[in-house]
Amino acid sequence: MKPAYLISLLVVLGLIGMVPTAAAQSRNTLVPAGHLQYAPGPIPDRVILVLAQNPESSQTVNWRTNYAVDEALAQITEAHDGPGLHLTAREVTGTTRPRTSESGLAHHHSVTFDGLRPNTLYAYRVRGQDTWSEWFQFRTARQSFSPFTFIYFGDAQNSVRSHFSRVIREAFMQTINPAFMLHAGDLVNLRRGIHGDEWGEWFDAGAFINAMVPSFPVAGNHEFVYETDEAGERTRVLSEFWEAQFSVAGNGPPGHRETVYFVEYQDVLFVALDSMRAIDSEESAIVQARWLEEVLGRKDYRWVFVSHHHPIHSVSLGRDNPALREHWMPIYQRHGVDMVLQGHDHTYGRGANVPEGAMMVDQTVGTVYVVSVAGPKMYFVSDVARQRMDRLGEDVQLYQHIEVEEDRIRFESRTVTGRVYDAFHLVRESDGRNRLEERLPTGMIERICTNPDREREDRCWQGTELVD
Ligand SMILES: [Fe+2]
């Protein structure tokens, strides 16, 4: 073949190959166009522990298989040193939900282990088609207060396997016996629908960590998808994959049980709220507020953490959420909520809130508000936040390492390379008030965006340009 014909042929083949690639690829995962990476199979995958209301005696596990597995079956035993775990294991059954994505029809399973002993190491495995998962281990919580450490992540959302993996794995490497991992919403993007590949990447990023360290998932705006009715009216509804993959405690108010819930971990209260529904509907904001007030009034918890996706005080420009301040912030102040853990703004921001409602440094603080980001989508800090918040950051992937002690919370926000970016202690004084001690590391200057090649002028990184 003459060189000219060869070149022409290669050009044509190249174009044929390129056109569908460019049209089909979402640019948000590492999965090449046309490749089926995350089809469900006989071997269980996406195994994840989700915190139950009382983690000293219960533990929920979710996993996925192909549709041939129509019963949710798991085995559990107190862990021992030999391989004969099956000899002492008991079997527990649960529920199965079918879900269809681009990866095909899958069965999503859920089992809750009840009647567990506190502070005990358990081994468990889950059933596939004529096979099992590997044995995993987890430790139940203690009956009453004892110091523990948990990890909090802001949005993973984009290019999750490519860029969130490093964060969750580094956090796991650097934390001894994490009690659980809190995800403050926008775990994946889901912008145009189901996106099974995005969920595949999220579960790949956490991998076996998810099956050993329980999760406390909080829903963000990207966990909702749009449905259009016959009249063409668009409404936002929770993705059906949320409840299939995360069987949360289910103790929230009616109509909100998949996303609003609480967990009592060793006498410390953790509450997940649904800020997306609250912003879409004032009625929802009020329903959640009344429920929260009732939960907070039940008993005196040693510490109270609330998490929701949209911030009470936004860090980035043009993202104000006044409905949350109107309906929820007064409850935080009245009941002494210690910390609110948030996401959504793709920046870092931390501020204490004095009773007057302004953000400012004050030695005696009310609620401390944090916004963080784990994935690669990065926005800019607003001028208002710059005036009012104590610590800010742009263009920095973070996880939060939070040690909960009897009279002190040791809070560290760490970069993906393990450097302490922000730190403070919240100290419980003898009169019951909190005092904030700054522990900012010396020499750690505030990070600002330095990306010279921005896809959008108003964003430091889109997060989707990084996988091409
Ligand atoms: Fe968001």
Ligand 1 centre and the CA of 320: distance in Å?
12
CATH architecture of 148-438: 4-Layer Sandwich (3.60)
Delimit the domains of the chain by residue range: 45-139, 148-438
Check whether domain 45-139 has CATH 2.60.40.380, yes or no: yes
Percentage with pLDDT > 70 across the chain: 91
Ligand 1 centre and the CA of 446: distance in Å?
23
What number is the average pLDDT over the span 219-247? 94
- What pLDDT is attached to residue 18? 33
9 or 393: which leads in pLDDT: 393
Token pair listed for 128: 């596939």
Ligand 1 centre and the CA of 352: distance in Å?
22
6 or 35: which leads in pLDDT: 35
Token pair listed for 85: 């775990």
Ligand 1 centre and the CA of 307: distance in Å?
13
Token pair listed for 124: 């468990």
User: Which candidate, 416, 429, 360, places its Cα nearest to that of 391?
Assistant: 360
**The pLDDT of residue 284 is above 90:** yes
For 81-128, write each residue's pLDDT tens digit.
999 999 999 999 999 999 999 999 999 999 999 999 999 999 999 999
Ligand 1 centre and the CA of 185: distance in Å?
7
Least-confidence region, from 152-156, 261-265, 426-430: 426-430
Can you tell me whether residue 459 is helix, strand or coil? coil
For 164-204, write each residue's pLDDT tens digit.
999 999 999 999 999 999 999 999 998 776 788 999 999 99
Q: Which long-range contacts (CB under 8 A, 24 or more apart) does 43-46 make?
A: 43/128, 43/131, 43/133, 44/109, 44/126, 44/127, 44/128, 44/132, 44/133, 45/203, 46/108, 46/199, 46/200, 46/203, 46/210, 46/245
What number is the average pLDDT over the span 46-55? 98
User: Which candidate, 374, 370, 325, 378, places its Cα nearest to that of 349?
Assistant: 370
Least-confidence region, from 260-269, 272-281, 294-303, 360-369: 360-369
Ligand 1 centre and the CA of 126: distance in Å?
32
What number is the average pLDDT over the span 240-250? 97
Ligand 1 centre and the CA of 219: distance in Å?
9
Query: For the whole model, what pTM was predicted?
Result: 0.92
Ligand 1 centre and the CA of 384: distance in Å?
20
Give the C-alpha separation, 346 to 97, whole Å.
33
- What pLDDT is attached to residue 384? 86
Ligand 1 centre and the CA of 409: distance in Å?
27
Helix pair angle (165-174, 196-212), 10° resolution: 10
Contact 396, 377 (CB under 8 A): no
